[in-house]
Amino acid sequence: MKIKQISVFLENKSGRLAKVTRVLGENGVNIRALSIADTTDFGILRLIVNDPDTAYRVLKEAGFSVNVTDVIAVEIPDVPGGLADPLDCLKDANINIEYLYAFLTRATKAALVVFRVEQIDEAARVLQDRGVRILDGAEVYNL
Amino acid sequence: MYWDREFETMPWEKLRELQLERLKTTVERVYNNVPFYRKVMDERGIKPSDIRTLDDLRMLPFTVKQDLRDNYPFDMFAVPMEEVVRVHASSGTTGKPTVVGYTKNDIRTWSQLMARSLTMAGATRGDVVQNAYGYGLFTGGMGVHYGAELVGATVIPISGGNTDRQLMIMQDFKATILTCTPSYALFLAEEGEKKGIDFKKLPLKAGVFGAEPWSERMRGQLEAKLDIKAHDIYGLSEIIGPGVSMECSAQQGMHIFEDHFLAEIIDPDTGEPLPPGRQGELVITSLTKEAFPIIRYRTRDITMLMDDPCPCGRTHIRMRRVTGRTDDMLIIRGVNVFPSQVESVLLEFGETEPHYLLVVDRKGNLDDLEIWVELSEQWFSDKVRQLEDIEQRLKGRIASVLGISAKIKLVEPRTIPRSEGKAKRVVDRREI
């Protein structure tokens, strides 16, 4: 149910993102989804990859600040208002969303949205109660 | 123009006699009243009566900043606290400042020395002194203030900062003498130019600039832009504050007020004394201080002494502009900053082996400090808010320990260069 997200600290200078993707590529790690949160001085790159354990290890060896966070990936029907339902559902349960990002896949017609919340188990439960499909790790890593 | 002709022009031999007499009194005082000095003298088997000539001073060990830290806050004082009427403080090498104390007499002495200094810059009862040194624990503000009042000048105790108001008051109150750090003076000059102020039409005639290193190039700029004569003043709180030495109208080095201070230049590596004309570290012994007498204090400032006669007629030896430091202290906007202070803050934040770099630059004549801190594993989070929170907390703590604000920049691990042995903690890009 939970999937592993890799976060990497990036200084705001040229070539850093290229370096991360190069390291991952050379080690056969494939990126499934990514988002960057940035400030004037630094950025935090968040990645969903096919092999989080290897990604964590090789980035660490390459000297990056890396951490692993549990997130949930939710399937959202690719129709207007599709995201509103799960968001309402979390709001009703008083669950704050730290951040989220979406990606499309070739395999399904649906959009996938990654949610980062503090109360992850509770979020998964209320979403499932509402009939929202949550993808498990293997499913996401092997997209 | 002299403030105190008798002492300022005292014949050389007489000055030495006076110094010896005062040195004996000082050594006697510290031996009897300051446990630290009694201990170091006893360890070396030296009694105050062993001081028979000025050269005998060399039997006594140096006093260093760490000694002041070890005796924080008041244990170096040679009088009971009832006799201390004021304290000042400057940056220590860690979170704790270096504290100094003054008796009523010390304040009188200091005021006299600052009156001398300001007189050297041409101050008289008719002058209006715009004192833009900071008032507070820092000695600059109150040192100038008391000296200028003693001269009988009108003091504007404006303190530092608020450039618009400084420029308005300079014009409206008809300031004739400006006292502040040289970089701030240059900043005022350029901000004034932008506002279309013609300094040549203002009555401003002199500046007394100190608390940070500057250069002949800056003197040229200040004198041209502000249409004044720019004087260098030197001092440090451990000795008394500003007014340890001051440049006369000849502008060829600063006269050290030898009736109150005994100056030596030493080789910073061996501690051996060096003759006039040789560059080394300035070491000062106070000769008249009551509350905080100090023996052979290593200032860490690099300079040289000049004993050739000065055209101004003063007999006191001169020191050249300070050209550097023998430690890693930085002076940023007139405030002394040690990289180890930053380290102590990072240690407080739970860093066991902090890697950091102080990057100092001069932007538009104002010093700018950026502190790069390598982001450690324990601090990293996938949430921006959490990293920004760390930056904010570090910024707040560093501002309170350093006394100046700094920009905190989190950087990736292992990106701050490690040199062999000692880490490089400072990049100073200022050109002064």
CATH 3.30.300.30 residue ranges for chain B: 332-428
Res B162: pLDDT: 94
Domain harbouring A102, CATH code: 3.30.70.260
Ranges of chain A with pLDDT below 50: none
Residue among B377, B382, B415 whose CB faces A44 most closely? B382
The boundaries of the domain holding residue A41 are 2-69
Per-residue pLDDT, B422? 62
Quote the percentage of chain B above a pLDDT of 70: 99
Do residues A131 and A75 share a domain? yes
CATH number of B1-327: 3.40.50.12780
In whole angstroms, what is the distance from residue B207 CA to residue B214 CA? 13
Tokens of B110: 């200091």
The alpha carbon of residue A33 and the mean position of all alpha carbons in its chain are separated, in whole angstroms, by 6
Integer Cα distance of B173 and B396 in angstroms:
36
If you measure CA to CA, which chain A residue comes closest to B375?
A65
Listed in sequence order, the residues at least 6 apart from B249 whose beta carbon sits closer than 8 Å to its beta carbon are B120, B122, B229, B312
Question: A116: distance to nearest CA of chain B, Å?
Answer: 10
Q: Which of A12, A37, A69 is the last residue of a domain?
A: A69
Whether residues A37 and A92 fall in one domain: no
Q: B418 pLDDT exceeds 80? A: no
pLDDT of residue B292: 98
pLDDT band at B92 (very low <50, low <70, confident <90, very high): confident
Per the structure, how many domains does chain A have? 2
- pLDDT in the model for residue B144: 98
Residue contact A65–B412, C-beta within 8 A: yes
> Do A102 and A134 belong to one domain?
yes
Any A CB within 8 A of B359 CB: no
Tracing tokens 């000062």 back to the chain, one arrives at B284
What residue of B is the nearest CA neighbor of A6? B382
Q: Which has more pLDDT, A30 or B421?
A: A30
Best B389, B412, B414 residue to mutate vs chain A (most A CBs within 10 Å): B412
Contacts of B415 in chain A (CB under 8 A): 11
Q: Is B381 on the interface with A (CB under 8 A)?
A: yes
Span B217-251, pLDDT tens digits:
899 999 999 999 999 999 999 999 999 999 999 99
A78 and A128 co-located in one domain = yes
A65 and A78: one domain? no
| Of A78-87, A117-126, B5-14, B413-422, the least confident | B413-422
Three-state secondary-structure class, residue B369: strand
Tokens of residue B114, six digits: 């600052």
Residues A93 and A110 in one domain: yes
Q: How confident is the model at residue B91 (pLDDT cuts 50, 70, 90)?
A: confident
Contact by Cβ (8 Å): B305, B263: yes
| Number of cross-chain residue pairs from A and B with Cβ atoms under 8 Å apart | 49
Do A102 and A118 belong to one domain?
A: yes
Contact call for B380 and A9, based on CB within 8 A: yes
Count Cβ atoms within 10 A of the Cβ of residue A40 and give its class: 0-12 exposed, 13-18 middle, 19 or more buried.
Answer: exposed
Rounded to 5°, the CA angle B288-B293-B295 comes to 105
Which amino acid would we find at residue B306? Answer: M
Are residue A64 and residue A85 in the same domain, yes or no?
Answer: no
Across the interface, whether the CB atoms of A46 and B380 are under 8 A apart is answered no
pLDDT tens profile B345-379: 998 888 777 889 999 999 888 899 999 999 888 88
ipTM of the complex: 0.85
pLDDT at B209: 97
Number of helical H runs and strand E runs in chain B: 11, 22
Give the three-class secondary structure for B127. Answer: coil
Query: For the stretch B151-174, what's the b/e string if a residue is b when 16 or more beta carbons lie within 10 angstroms of its beta carbon?
Result: bebbbbbbbbeebeebbebbbeee
Whether B14 shows a pLDDT value over 90: the answer reads yes
What single-letter amino acid sits at B181? T
What pLDDT is attached to residue B124?
98
Contacts of B372 in chain A (CB under 8 A): none
CATH number for the segment(s) B332-428 = 3.30.300.30
**B389 inside 8 A of chain A by CB:** no
Predicted local distance difference test score (pLDDT) of residue B51? 97
Same domain as A123, residue A102: yes
How far off is chain A from B373, nearest CA to CA, in Å?
12
- Chosen domain end from A69, A99, A116: A69
CB contact under 8 A, A98 and B410: no
Residues A64 and A123 in one domain: no
Quick one: A78 and A52 in the same domain? no
Task: Say yes or no to pLDDT of B421 above 60.
Answer: no
Convert the pLDDT of each residue in B261-312 to its tens digit: 999 999 999 999 999 999 999 999 999 999 999 999 999 999 999 999 999 9
A10 vs B contacts (CB less than 8 Å):
412
Amino acid A67: pLDDT = 94
- Does residue A60 sit in the same domain as residue A87? no
